Structure 1
């Protein structure tokens, strides 16, 4: 199969990230309006988000790899930088820009659909050591999962496995598993249930970066430093 053009791949990353952000933020607004029970609100928000993530990965993986996350894109570049089959630095920059723009657009779309200002800064402070640790764990396991699946030749399980881990991590970590710098920025632009104050964003993103680095190190420990041969259909999920 021919590799889609870079503009098409960037469009897929922007659209996918925007729709994911819109569902994540919109379901948070909707659940907060419909239920006073905190557990019900959280369950509804998590369910909508993981369903959207699985569907969007399945839909857009053949186009761009369906990263929707700057750290996944950066890990693809890093692991394939010597093989010539992954992203170039130029493509990585395009992917990250598309994901960030998509997250901002998705936040604005969610706000607008619920009669809020297109963009509004969140006042929800999330700043504590245990939250940063949780973000590192959630992100590290996400990277381990994605690249472990690829090296094991099970890349076709990515839509279900990634959505499954994010859903589990939402419940099993104190931060709620943002695990994505682009979505973290998008969530800072909605003063709603799923928001994060802009001042809390840098530490969250730094923790996510540390977690991603740890995840890549675990991939090397558990699966070896040299990439095993992976079937072409599995490689298509992340490398184009």
Structure 2
């Protein structure tokens, strides 16, 4: 069983990490919209660059504490792949991670709104519906989850921060949906009617597509890396045993 204090630290890291991630995404989206009001391509460049750099820093900051999942799909995949070897999150911990991530995402969007004096009560009106966008979310999420677990399985987890940041930065451009790839982030972005927002009615489709993408990635990495479950405890970033995360053995996570 995970010690309560250890779990509390990890949930705090997931909440803060996801909150700051959404603050980066929404805040840079607002700034881009104001700085380059007549150039959508430049807005996307500014938004994607800030997200790439911010996500890299956040994984480095929170990874040693919680693994820096910052994404319910990653946490669910970690539980699923590690459940037999008892190396990943338990089902209860994965559920707790998801709650913390979702709460953090909403708080992060509102923090960005406060900094840019955007009304807190406004919900996004930016419609993001269409089969092509849902396909893009499947692709974006599958690539993200596959990357994370491939790095962990091959002992390159410490490269996750720059690799994940680079992948998301690139996926802003090669996917038509601009790569949300994260149910918690999708929820958080509802709470800002700005460049980075998404209308509430578009969220269920995005979340379903992201879950499908996560399932595709799980199947892919299980085929390519038959013993990937043994590395579930090192996702996204290897935890620091006996330090930030306490001395709990991985089999108890």
Query: TM-score with structure 2 length normalisation?
Result: 0.89
- 1:163-208 Cα distance to aligned partner (Å, 9 max, x none): 1110111100000000000000000111000111000000000000
User: What pairs up with 1:11-160 in 2 under 5 angstroms?
Assistant: 11-35=12-36, 36-160=38-162
> Which residue of structure 2 lines up, in the alignment, with residue 163 of structure 1?
165
CA shift, 1:221, in A, is: 1.7
3-state DSSP of counterpart to 2:169: helix
Give the Cα–Cα distance (whole angstroms) in 1 for the partners of residues 150 and 97 of structure 2: 22
Alignment partner of 1:236 is 2:239? yes
Sort the Cα spacing of 1:226 and 1:32 in 2 relative to 1 into closer, same or farther, 3 A: closer
Sort the Cα spacing of 1:77 and 1:195 in 2 relative to 1 into closer, same or farther, 3 A: same
CA shift, 1:122, in A, is: 0.4
Sort the Cα spacing of 1:39 and 1:23 in 2 relative to 1 into closer, same or farther, 3 A: same
2:67, 2:234 within 8 Å by CA — same for their partners in 1? no
Greater relative contact order structure (CA < 8 Å, 6+ sep): 2
CA shift, 1:24, in A, is: 0.5
Give the Cα–Cα distance (whole angstroms) in 1 for the partners of residues 229 and 206 of structure 2: 30
> Which residue of structure 2 lines up, in the alignment, with residue 222 of structure 1?
224
- 1:147-177 Cα distance to aligned partner (Å, 9 max, x none): 0111111111100110111011110000000
CA shift, 1:50, in A, is: 1.0
The alignment covers a number of residue pairs equal to 238
Specify every segment of 5 or more residues in structure 2 that has no aligned partner in the other structure, as ranges: 241-249
Give the Cα–Cα distance (whole angstroms) in 2 for the partners of residues 45 and 29 of structure 1: 9
- 1:122-158 Cα distance to aligned partner (Å, 9 max, x none): 0000000000000000000101100011111111110
- 1:60-103 Cα distance to aligned partner (Å, 9 max, x none): 11100000000001111111112222211111111000000000
> Which residue of structure 2 lines up, in the alignment, with residue 172 of structure 1?
174
Specify every segment of 5 or more residues in structure 1 that has no aligned partner in the other structure, as ranges: none
1:122, 1:189 within 8 Å by CA — same for their partners in 2? yes
2:128, 2:199 within 8 Å by CA — same for their partners in 1? yes
2:87, 2:232 within 8 Å by CA — same for their partners in 1? no
Sort the Cα spacing of 1:85 and 1:231 in 2 relative to 1 into closer, same or farther, 3 A: closer
2:59, 2:161 within 8 Å by CA — same for their partners in 1? yes
> Which residue of structure 1 lines up, in the alignment, with residue 213 of structure 2?
211
